[in-house]
Amino acid sequence: MTTDAPILFIGGLGGSGTRAVAGAVAGIGYYPGGCLNGANDNLIFTELFKRPDWLRSRPSPARIRDRLRLFEAVMTGGVRWHHLLRAPGLRRFRRDQGHGFAGAPGAIGWMTKEPNCHVYLEAILETWPNAGFVYVSRHPLDMAFSDNKGQLGNWSWLFDLDPAQWPTPEAAQLEYWIRTQRRLDALVARHPGRVFPLRFDDFAERPAEHLGRIVDAFALAVPRARIEPACAGVIRPDGMGRWRDRDLSAFSEQQLAFCREAGWEA
């Protein structure tokens, strides 16, 4: 099964709203994979790539590309026995993944939602010239006070960040957000038209409008009438704006200034 639609990846910090965005993109006709958890994370991507120790071993760009191609084969055609020689952990996905995108009639393309995929953003764009990336960001201070700090523990070293050097976990989490955003700005400039930065706060308020912008940005052949129904499950989470009731004294003025300069109230 082939398609002209771009491959779409959706990532960002854990808790940033990727689940809602992915649900809407699936609603316009994208195949998300057959092995998802309760947050609709693609567990096959998690199995292959949420591996800090593997990335710490500094695999070559060719090795990363080779693993991404394995992921593509599983997404488009299912888990085959020869894939297990390279990644035995894929065995548990064999039944639920089925024939992958090839067995999803009516799907316009395939997508991957897994917050950690932003770690591999540049490798993804270099591996697939037709791939697009929706990078979801939530208010930085809401992210700082989120209980979801898994990425800080797994990937802070990639951004030369030692959480123990910060006065509180919240200050370290905000710094992680800042450093990932700086990298995002550089990637948007380096890959024009291929990375779509999406503020979840705006998406939650006007989901159909922003889903329409994603459709336009990647020139997706999606009827406009399909956009509004695809957003039916999007709700404004209770945690939005939680930072307003919190003590901000643990954050440095430089951190708060970065947030304001990036267009966020702080």
DSSP line for 29-79: TEE--S-B-TT--BHHHHHHH--HHHHHT---HHHHHHHHHHHHHHHHH--
Give the Cα separation of 67 and 86 in Å (integer).
9
The hierarchical CATH code for the domain 7-261 is 3.40.50
pLDDT at 2 over 80: no
Give 101-123 pLDDT, tens digit per residue.
999 999 999 999 999 999 999 99
Give the global pTM.
0.95
Residue 221: pLDDT band (50, 70, 90) is: very high
Q: Residue 25 has what pLDDT?
A: 98
Mean pLDDT in residue range 199-211:
96
- Check whether 186 has a pLDDT greater than 70: yes
Check whether 48 has a pLDDT greater than 70: yes
The rounded mean pLDDT for the chain is 96
Q: For residue 127, is pLDDT > 90? A: yes
Task: Read off the pLDDT band of 16 (50, 70, 90).
Answer: confident
Q: How confident is the model at residue 146 (pLDDT cuts 50, 70, 90)?
A: very high
Domain layout of the chain by residue ranges: 7-261
> Angle 244-248-252 (CA atoms, 0-180°, nearest 5)?
140
Q: Average pLDDT of 21-49? A: 97
pLDDT of 237 > 90? The answer is no
Q: What angle do CA 116, 118, 120 make, to 5 degrees?
A: 95
